[in-house]
Structure 1
Amino acid sequence: MSNQQSKIKLVQIIADSDLSGGPRHVLGLLSSINRSKFECFLICPNGNLSREAKEISRLEVINIEMSSKFDLVAMSSINKILSQIQSQNNPFGPMIVHTHGTRAGFLGRMSLPKGVLSVYTEHRWDADYHLENRINEWLQLYWLKRLNQKTHLIIAVSNSVRDFLINRKLAPDARIRVIHNGIDLQNAKSKMQKAKNSKGNHFIIGNVGNLNHQKGHEYLIEAMPEILEHYPHAMLEIIGEGEERKNLESKIQDLKLERHVTLLGKQVDPMSFMAKWDLFVLPSVAETFGIVVLEAMSQKLPVVATQVGGVPDIIKHNKNGILVSPHSPESIAEATIELLSRPAKMEQLARNASDRVKDFDWKKIVSKVEREYLELI
């Protein structure tokens, strides 16, 4: 048997085309996985993820648009491609299809050929996350439960996700594993070394996140007037784009914060901005993990974050960051003002955060995923 024939065929499927949490997780996984053991494929829509993935050696990228969970054309195309991958080289060898997120999880798992091992990563659902339409929410969770019953391995990106799946009986307990998201520490370190001297004379508070309800930006903006009473030259920079942009712009105008709050939109390299920030604040009301927290910690930034979802898996209060209540501008302002007034504490939190983030190095995370793959064979 040839070396190529002895490899495990591994297909990742994701419906997102941007480079937010889930896609970045997939990109990191594909960049670091052991190519001597796995023959890798990626099925995803055309977009930023696809373009980045095509730079990875020994990876075949197949573009399929997935407009909805019930996209029958996409389902048929995925089934056809999976069948072709299964039949090539060693047709009776092991093949794993790893789907990510609700849409790809539905389309991919409904399209599986016989004899294929199914892995699903839940990136979104925990007790804090809800859809505006509760009927749609019920339907999503109903199908999630049905498909999880036929899935060989379910990966939860945080303890909050695992607890939600178990408490709502959405997946068999014995098939769930908690494997956190990771970060490319070497890349993060190089960015810090290149730009760490660019800090200005005034405090800059930063945030990165899609502009949607779950990210809670309005609470961070509402905290600024109190922060400015103590630090009148403080600035807030928010990187990200989304449907809440107009509402946030109106809030900034209503609070007369135009000179102090800047919405920077999408940026190709958010970590290059972090190098000039003094403090990172995560005001999310739902956050199943928080890769952006790891990125901030890797840049030796002290972090204030809401105690939601998977954030406490990363931050230990008063040791490597500060945890505050969600939905509370007052809590955000109080923690921010305290830290800005105590530079020694900020430095200590930043050092501890830099040490903590080493536990989430992609090499360690991918090693855990590979072990789970191999146990399925």
Structure 2
Amino acid sequence: MTLRILYLIDSLGVGGAECSLLEITRRFRQTSVAVCHLYPEDSLRPDFEAAGIPVYPLDMKGRYPGPQAWRKLQAVQQAVQPDLLHITGLFAGLLGRSMGKVQGVRMVDSFTNETYTPAHYASLPPRSRLKLRALYVLDRLTLRWVDRIIANSEAVRLCNAATLHVPLQRVEVIYRGRDPAPFLSPQSDRMEELRCRFELAGGGPVIVNVARLIPRKGQAELIQAMPAVLHRFPTARLLLAGEGHHRPQLQALIEHLGLAQQVTLLGTVRDVPELLALADVFAFPSHFEGLGGAVVEAMMAACPIVAADTPVHREMVISGESGLLVTPQHPGALAEGILWMLDHPAEAEAMGRKARQVALEKFHIDGVAARYEALYRSLAKAN
């Protein structure tokens, strides 16, 4: 029997959750999939449709779901007639759970981040904190309606289950994966194109970060670490791939530190495997994560990793064996980690190889997709 799954997600922009959803769903063998997204951003829509996956936009203009969005989602549900509704995203959750409850649809939800931690609250302005507390109440009340929750790491499972008072037995960990093929065999012509585009012909060490440009991703600390790196390696370059609302502040910091020639904001980069193949170090100082998909990609690329020492990163990287974990939000510690990798290229290369081995075992997309399908079938069978 072919299962019908309707996915509800905040957007189809280029992000970790969205890319993971695409990679997972196009590998299903006995599951029919449709995707519905709340907000207009739909950069990945052509990729889903090329994989034969129907896409239903709700075209919400405001941030918060209202009656019109509810009616549109109800129409999508009636058209698709799903066996299960799988929800990803805070606002998708608030909308989807209410519709699923009324329509009697079995639901799977997602824990993808540590949304309600003190660190997150502290990073927000006072008004945003009040809004997040209100959303927390709604989140906690409506989560009781879902049948199962998938967390993308054990750290996220434990944190959110405790914070939202969800029994641990209702939450299952399935890591988000990646297709290793592009990272095992990057295309040399694209590498050369990137080398020319970003003026890397000088031969100095290249440090890469791939993440949205938002404060919690830690790019500011990475930029602040660069003067110490440049003191030892004057021709080093830092390439920051990604877009986000923090871009103006980061650009101002680059100019304030006089690093305009050494640090480049690349914007969105599609050729991530080739970019990682050019890197001597992958730096990921994120303050907190669900599961850093960019770290998984760096592991598959066998790129030496320096990341913030957080619970999630400890599930991915063994410091001193498959990378280095350094004190979070500490530019000096970050610089020391990067410099160690550059000073010890043989050891760094060995760590990269070990990281690739771990990634192929834990994060191979085929195994991840199989686990998702198995969970869906077990829930459908229980019904």
**TM-score when normalising by structure 1:** 0.91
Shift of 1:192: 5.9
Aligned to 2:141: 146
1:118 pairs with 2:107: yes
- Mapped pair 1:106 → 2:94: yes
1:280 paired residue among 263, 279, 282: 282
**Alignment gaps of 5+ in structure 2:** none
8 Å CA contact 2:109, 2:146 repeated in 1: yes
Question: Is the aligned partner of 1:328 residue 2:330?
Answer: yes
| Shift of residue 62, structure 1, vs aligned partner | 1.4
CA shift, 1:273, in A, is 1.5
1:80-229 to 2 correspondences below 5 Å:
80-86=75-81, 95-112=83-100, 114-126=103-115, 127=117, 128-130=119-121, 131-132=124-125, 133-191=128-186, 201-229=203-231
Of 355, 365, 369 in structure 2, the residue corresponding to residue 366 of structure 1 is: 369
Q: Take 2:165 and 2:72, find their aligned partners in 1: how far apart are those partners?
A: 28
3-state SS of the aligned residue for 2:108?
strand
Identity in percent: 26
- Checking the alignment, whether the CA contact within 8 Å between 1:155 and 1:177 is kept in structure 2 is yes
Q: Distance in 2 between matches of 1:76 and 1:129?
A: 33
Q: 1:272, CA displacement in angstroms?
A: 2.1
Classify the secondary structure of the residue corresponding to 1:48: coil
1:118 alignment partner, SS class: strand
CA RMSD of aligned residues (A): 1.9
Q: Is the 8 A contact 1:289 1:309 kept in 2?
A: no
Shift of the 312–196 alpha-carbon distance from structure 1 to 2, 3 Å rule, reads farther
1:346 shift after superposition: 0.7
Hey, what does 1:90 align to over in structure 2? Answer: none
- Please tell me whether the aligned partners of residues 288 and 309 of structure 1 are also in contact (alpha carbons under 8 angstroms): no
SS in 1 for 2:298: helix
Does the aligned pair in 1 maintain the 2:4–2:84 contact within 8 Å? yes
In structure 2, what is the equivalent of residue 65 of structure 1? Answer: 59
1:150 partner amino acid: W
The amino acid of 2:59's aligned partner reads E
Contact persistence 2:86–2:109 (CA under 8 A):
yes
Confirm or deny: 8 A CA contact 2:206 2:237 kept in the other structure: yes
Change (3 A) 1:214 1:345: same
- d(CA) in 1 for partners of 2:129 and 2:183? 39
Conserved in 1, the CA contact under 8 Å of 2:299 and 2:352? yes
CA distance in 1, matches of 2:333, 2:178: 28
Aligned positions, number: 362
Query: Runs ≥4 in structure 1, deviation > 6 angstroms?
Result: 196-199
Note if 1:39 corresponds to 2:42: no
2:68 and 2:339 mapped to 1: Cα distance?
Answer: 53
**CA offset at residue 370 of structure 1?**
1.4
How far apart are residue 367 of structure 1 and its match? 1.2
TM-score by length of 2: 0.90
The question of whether the paired residues in 2 share the 8 Å contact of 1:195 and 1:276 is answered with no
> Do the aligned partners of residues 211 and 309 (structure 1) sit closer, same or farther apart at CA in structure 2, a change above 3 Å counting?
farther
Provide the rounded CA distance (Å) in 1 between the counterparts of 2:258 and 2:182.
38
Worse-superposed segment, 165-174 or 258-267: 165-174
Distance of 1:115 and 1:254 partners within structure 2: 56
- Tell me how far apart the structure 1 counterparts of residues 112 and 11 of structure 2 sit (CA, whole Å): 12
Contact 1:157 1:181 in 2 (8 A): yes
Encode CA deviations 1:6-61: one digit per residue, 9 max, x unaligned.
Answer: 32111111112211111012111211112xx222111125511212101103x222
How far is the alpha carbon of 1:224 from its aligned partner?
0.5
Q: Which amino acid aligns with 1:363?
A: D
